Amino acid sequence: MTTLHTNTALPGVSHLMRLVLAALIPGTAVFIYQTGWGGVINLLLAIIAAVVFEAIAVKLRRRSVRTSLEDYSAVVTGWLIALCLPPLLAWWLPVLAAAFAILLAKHLFGGLGQNIFNPAMAGYALLLISYPLDLGLWLNTPEAFNLSLHDSIAIVMNGGVKLQANWDALTGATALDQHRGWLLKTLDNPTPPGNTFGTIGAAHSEWANMAFLVGGIWLWHKRIIQWQIPLAFIVTLLLCTTIGNLINPLQAGPGFHLFGGATMLGAFFIATDPVSAAASNRARLIYAAGAGGLVYLIRTFGAFPDAVAFAILLMNCVVPALDRMDIWLLGRNNEAPKQ
Amino acid sequence: MAHNFVTGIFVVTAIALLIGVVLGYAASWFTSDNESLSAQIDRLLPQTQCAQCGYPGCRPYADAIANNEADINQCPPGGEAGVAALADLLGRPVIALDPDYGEVKPPLLALIREDECIGCTLCIKACPVDAIVGAAKLMHTVIADQCTGCELCLPPCPVDCIDLIVIADTDQPA
Amino acid sequence: MDTTAHVHDSPSRTPPVIDWPAPERVCIPLRQHQGKAAAVIVTIGQAVNQGQLLTHSDNLFEVPVHASISGIVDTITAQQITLRQTPNGDAQTGSITRQSQQPQGTTITTLYNGWSRSEYLQRIHNAGLVGLGGSCYPVAAKINKLGDKPADTLLINAAECDPSICCDEALLNHSIDEIAMGICLAQHATQAKKTIIGIESDKSALGQLLLTSVLNCCAQQFAAHTELQVVPASYPNGAESLLMSHCVGRTLTPTDIHESQLITFNINTCYSLSQALILGNPCTHRIATIIDSQHNRFNLRLPLGTPISDLIAYYEQRRDCTIVVGGEMMGTEVGLDAVVTKASNCIQLKYVKTQPTVRPCVRCSLCVDACPVSLKPQLLLSAASTANYTNLQTLNLQNCIECTCCDRACPSHIPLAGIFAKSKEQMRQDTHARQMANLAKARYEKRQARLENSKQREFKKLDKKQSNLNQPEKAGQQAKRKLVEEALQRARDKKKNQPPANNNTSPADGQS
């Protein structure tokens, strides 16, 4: 009874991507529960746009459209973009992000497997830099989620929620915005950001984070992702925030950072994108630790409210160097005399 | 306003100068100085010593490239891969081989038809890598393992008894 | 992770070895081993007996081939010799040429005590023995590599190299004593300090039997150092480097083994060894597992050179099947005109399956987890695609055993092992070209130096001549010259002082 060294089942790339999508479902459910129809519209817009632009790009490159749509990578990209966006944005913002992600970040670099940057985060970062006001508008009162589908579509088609509009009452800065503002003492709010479960963030992001954590652990259990990246990411963030909090109690504590913003989504679903992550386990530890540290730095001292996207994009730049370092270390080990 | 304007120009210029100095030093510090440029170029050349490039051997050609006297596309035995390697080393764009200097051929081997050889020793003198042995008025032969297929022995032979054969692929299975 | 490959059945269901009848025609490739072909020594139309040498060479890497049937030589090309059975010539074709007739009653002990290593090498070489595990490395050359020294470890590979193959096991069931005798001969030929029989855990009982059998017939000095090692039954533990690593307890790469005094023989090779050296039957047949398109398996003892189309005709209704030689994992597709060679340990007949679409590498590193020799296939792939030989070297491409585990793990279905095999060959050629270039460069530089030197010498000679002319003359010479000049001067003076009339006298004197 000779067994194979490896699993004989042949999981294809599309199979892997489908599992990733399945793992995203719990987090997405919480996201939709919290954002209402606005979230659903974002998801549909981003996914459809991503798939359409993928088809166009592949067609232009004279490759098989079917083969490349079958791998579900465009769906994953669109889905991840939508999960980062606040609800009730103007319709063309998710579409723009998807177009940038698929056309520029992915296909201009040579398509699947060649892109240096995580396409979803590149698309999101574009919006974050270009439309910071719109992306800061997370509705923070429960009434806002009770908008009907019809009303939601009307808002989305008419330019989305604007700060200047009557929606002022419904909108507010994100929890992370508050945190930074609070540190900079520009906000009047005198209470430090919540640090215990149930009080984090305006949109109660701890629930979404918990759901992404569950999905991520399932993904690890299915051996689709390795433990190195999420663990290094989370541990580094935990260490940085604990030390920061001890030195300066005005800084948010680890609970806030781990369950606020897109931490778990980033740790399990975005940083683990194999194409733009480092190739070997040793390099992955460094890559993810770097991303975790950058998240802390950007959230605490940076000008943008969301740090995960920038942290991962910055570490994506370092990946080629990490890969080279890995080969160099291997070469040095080879040279070392054998016992 | 004017003051800010001047400050801006001053600061940017200072930064540019600083970076320039650092880059300049870095360029000289981080180049491998254990080997001269022409030696590095020479290492990439195929060492057939065929002189097709217009220089008497690979090293002279390497010197010429290093001194910007010759272009990198004059070496047919090196082929496109050779040009690419040189372009990579010198940070230049990859260009096509110049057909004036000959065309790419498969690896060749000179073979003397020994019964026709009159023992004139002219080919021995022509061989750049001493791969032909023989004595005056006696038959000559090519040391197959050492022949680079440079074709330099063909013109001097008075009886045209040297053939170039294509080296068959070694039939060693991987 | 430990998914059982269902192609492998329980040991009790291993099919027995069946003799395949001598075919009408055989087509014997001259090169069935790693190395060059030996020189042909038969002519067209010549009648040959089974076991007769068809080619001959004294080079251990040019292994001779033998006639696998009795008949006449039909055609000879640079690659192969075809033989056909003569019609109704049974009496003539029945005999078998034995290479070395051993007198009756020779025991194995008297036999192997009598031979030196060079005698062993000669006999093994002439019997056309190559590694029958699949490597086809000439056995004599393998032993010769040890030099005059004994082997540190002789490893008997009784582990199946591929999960779909069962010919090793069938052979163990079929002729365990012949294998044991072959092992004893191998011990003597290599003077092994230690012998290890490596077998997979599912066949440990057979391993025990083999060990007992070896201990019964081997010499005293070897018996004390012969042992059995059971390795986990998981692919690719039958690969030489992995089995050796398991058995000697440290990680060894193929290069390590090549450079050390470790030597491996497959049990198929041991069987042929005893057949050749004791009975004088050269390597004319081999045992192979045949897998038909319905996944039924048969173990056949096939004459070398049997056309695979004969097997298709017997086992399949349809003729359009694909032939894969080698196992499920490492097999390669061959054409319909292929024949059985010393390398054919397994012949699979299948109908074409649609190949999964090959997608680009997404660097998921599932291949890294799959690799049994701890390589990083995803980094190797990027180095191979840019032909970066430095990186390929650093990433230890040479340690790849081409087991195709990474192919199976790859979600993009990239044929990694095939790419690596090609890269290895390219790297070998590149290294060779570089070495040749360095040699040519060295010779060129020496020649330049020599030419320069002789030019210098020429110059020196010239200089010497020149300076000789300019040198101040020696005192003696000066004095002589002075005397000569003085004499001349005197003579001129005389002429001047003499009256011109006297000048005319001399011709007159002459006339008188």
Boundaries of CATH 1.10.15.40 in chain B? Answer: 37-101
**Same domain as A135, residue A185:** no
Tokens of residue C336, six digits: 């319909």
Q: What is residue A270's DSSP assignment? A: I
pLDDT tier at A8, thresholds 50, 70, 90: very low
Cβ–Cβ below 8 Å for B148 and C445: no
Structure confidence at residue A166 (pLDDT): 43
Residue C510, domain member (yes or no): no
- Tell me the C-alpha to C-alpha distance, in Å, between residue B13 and each of A51, B9, C411: 47, 6, 53
Each residue's pLDDT tens digit, C74-117:
899 888 899 988 765 444 444 555 544 444 444 455 556 667 88
**Same domain as A112, residue A72:** yes
What is the distance between the alpha carbons of residues C231 and A46, in angstroms, rounded to a whole number? Answer: 53
Residue C476, domain member (yes or no): no
Residue A330, domain member (yes or no): no
pLDDT tier at A192, thresholds 50, 70, 90: very low
For C472-500, the three-class secondary structure string (H helix, E strand, C coil) is CCCHHHHHHHHHHHHHHHHHHHHHHHCCH
Number of Cβ within a 10 Å radius of residue A338: 7
B residues 47-86 lying closer than 8 A (beta carbon) to C: 47-49, 57-59
Tokens of residue C308, six digits: 């695979």
Scan for tokens 């177009």, then name that residue.
A99
**What is the crossing angle of helices C167-174 and C176-190, to 10°?**
100
- Tell me the C-alpha to C-alpha distance, in Å, between residue A154 and each of A89, A160, A339, B92, C378: 11, 8, 73, 57, 49
Residue A329, domain member (yes or no): no
What is the distance between the alpha carbons of residues A121 and A291, in angstroms, rounded to a whole number? Answer: 13
Cβ proximity of A277 and A284 under 8 Å? yes
The secondary structure of C56-97 as a DSSP string is E-SSTTS---B-SSSEEEEEE-SSEEEEEPPTT-HHHHS-B-
**Same domain as A82, residue A128:** yes
**Same domain as A259, residue A186:** yes
More confident residue, A8 or A175: A175
What is the distance between the alpha carbons of residues A44 and A46, in angstroms, rounded to a whole number? Answer: 6
**Same domain as C389, residue C334:** no
Backbone φ/ψ region at A193: left (φ over 0), alpha (ψ -120 to 50), beta = beta
C454 in B contact zone (CB under 8 Å): no
Residue A319, domain member (yes or no): yes
**Same domain as A227, residue A137:** no
Q: How many interface pairs between B and C have CB atoms less than 8 angstroms apart?
A: 45
**Same domain as C433, residue C418:** yes
The secondary structure of A159-205 as a DSSP string is TB--TTSGGGGGEE--HHHHHHHHHTT-S---SPPP-STT-STTTTH
Domain of C219? 11-290
**Same domain as C276, residue C313:** no
Cβ proximity of C179 and C270 under 8 Å? yes
Q: What are phi and psi of C36, to 5 degrees?
A: -95, 165
**Same domain as A164, residue A77:** yes
Q: Which residues pair with B112 in a beta bridge?
A: B162
Number of Cβ within a 10 Å radius of residue C464: 9
**Same domain as A260, residue A303:** yes
Q: Which residues pair with C199 in a beta bridge?
A: C230
Between chain B and chain C, are at least 3 CB pairs below 8 A?
yes
Closest CA to A106 of A125, A121, A128, A95: A121
**Same domain as C345, residue C233:** no
CATH code for the domain of C74: 3.40.50.11540
Nearest to B48 among C31, C438, C440 (CB): C440
Give CATH for domain B108-166.
3.30.70.20
Structure confidence at residue A179 (pLDDT): 52
Question: Which residue does chain C place closest to B85, by CA atoms?
Answer: C388
Cβ proximity of A201 and A194 under 8 Å? yes
Residue C58, domain member (yes or no): yes
* CATH fold for the domain made of B37-101: 3-methyladenine DNA Glycosylase II; Chain A, domain 3 (1.10.15)
| Disruptive mutation site among B48, B124, B129 for chain C (greatest number of C CBs within 10 Å) | B129
**Same domain as A193, residue A148:** no
**Same domain as C312, residue C231:** no
**Same domain as C177, residue C92:** yes
**Same domain as C242, residue C201:** yes
**Same domain as A117, residue A58:** yes
C451 in B contact zone (CB under 8 Å): no
Q: Is residue B56 over pLDDT 60?
A: yes
Structure confidence at residue C8 (pLDDT): 42
Q: What percent of chain A has pLDDT above 70?
A: 79
Residue A122, domain member (yes or no): yes
Structure confidence at residue B52 (pLDDT): 87
Residue C90, domain member (yes or no): yes
Q: What's the gap in Å between the CA of C411 and the closest CA on chain A?
A: 4
Structure confidence at residue C106 (pLDDT): 45
Structure confidence at residue C146 (pLDDT): 87
Q: Cα-atom radius of gyration of chain C, to the nearest Å?
A: 37
Question: Which residue does chain C place closest to B45, by CA atoms?
Answer: C437
Cβ–Cβ below 8 Å for B174 and C428: yes
Number of Cβ within a 10 Å radius of residue C172: 22
Domain of A71? 13-172
The secondary structure of C137-178 as a DSSP string is -BHHHHHHTTTTSPPSEEEEE-S-SSTT--HHHHHHHH-HHH
**Same domain as C55, residue C128:** yes
Residue C437, domain member (yes or no): yes
**Same domain as A273, residue A155:** no
Torsion, Cα of C171, C173, C177, C181 (10° steps): 30
Each residue's pLDDT tens digit, A41-66:
999 999 999 999 999 999 998 888 88
Structure confidence at residue B84 (pLDDT): 87
Cβ–Cβ below 8 Å for B172 and C34: yes
**Same domain as A204, residue A134:** no
Q: What is residue C15's DSSP assignment? A: P
The last residue of one of the domains, among A172, A193, A224, is: A172
- Angle at the Cα of A107 from the Cα atoms of A103 and A113, rounded to 5 degrees: 140
**What is the crossing angle of helices A308-335 and A119-130, to 10°?**
140
The last residue of one of the domains, among A172, A199, A224, is: A172
**Cβ contacts of C391 on chain A, cutoff 8 Å:** 327
The last residue of one of the domains, among A122, A140, A172, is: A172
Residue A3, domain member (yes or no): no
Q: Which residues pair with C71 in a beta bridge?
A: C48
Tokens of residue A79, six digits: 């889905």
Question: Which residue does chain B place closest to C137, by CA atoms?
Answer: B173
Number of domains in chain C: 3
Boundaries of CATH 3.30.70.20 in chain B? Answer: 108-166
What is the distance between the alpha carbons of residues B124 and B135, in angstroms, rounded to a whole number? Answer: 9
Q: Is residue A1 over pLDDT 60?
A: no
Q: What's the gap in Å between the CA of B17 and the closest CA on chain C?
A: 37
What are the counts of helices (DSSP H) followed by strands (DSSP E) for chain B?
A: 5, 4
Torsion, Cα of A73, A79, A80, A81 (10° steps): 110
**Same domain as C367, residue C313:** no
**Same domain as C261, residue C202:** yes
Instruction: Find all residues with CB under 8 Å of A32, minimum gap 6, and list them.
Output: A39, A40, A43
**Same domain as A188, residue A159:** no
What is the residue-averaged pLDDT of chain B? 83
What is the distance between the alpha carbons of residues B90 and C124, in angstroms, rounded to a whole number? Answer: 55
What is the distance between the alpha carbons of residues A152 and C413, in angstroms, rounded to a whole number? Answer: 44
Residue A333, domain member (yes or no): no
pTM, whole model, 2 decimals? Answer: 0.77
Structure confidence at residue B1 (pLDDT): 52
Regions of chain C with pLDDT less than 50: 1-12, 89-94, 99-107, 502-512
Residue A291, domain member (yes or no): yes
Residue A159, domain member (yes or no): yes
**Cβ contacts of C433 on chain B, cutoff 8 Å:** 46
Cβ proximity of C145 and C252 under 8 Å? no
**Same domain as C416, residue C305:** no
Query: Average pLDDT of A296-312?
Result: 86
Q: What percent of chain C has pLDDT above 70?
A: 88
- Angle at the Cα of B161 from the Cα atoms of B160 and B165, rounded to 5 degrees: 110
Number of domains in chain A: 2
Residue C472, domain member (yes or no): no
Structure confidence at residue C14 (pLDDT): 78
**Same domain as C372, residue C297:** no
Question: Which residue does chain C place closest to A12, by CA atoms?
Answer: C411
The last residue of one of the domains, among C449, C465, C481, is: C465
Tokens of residue C349, six digits: 């007949």
Torsion, Cα of A79, A83, A85, A86 (10° steps): 130
B132 in C contact zone (CB under 8 Å): no
- Tell me the C-alpha to C-alpha distance, in Å, between residue C264 and each of B173, C155, C186, C197, C224: 20, 5, 10, 10, 19
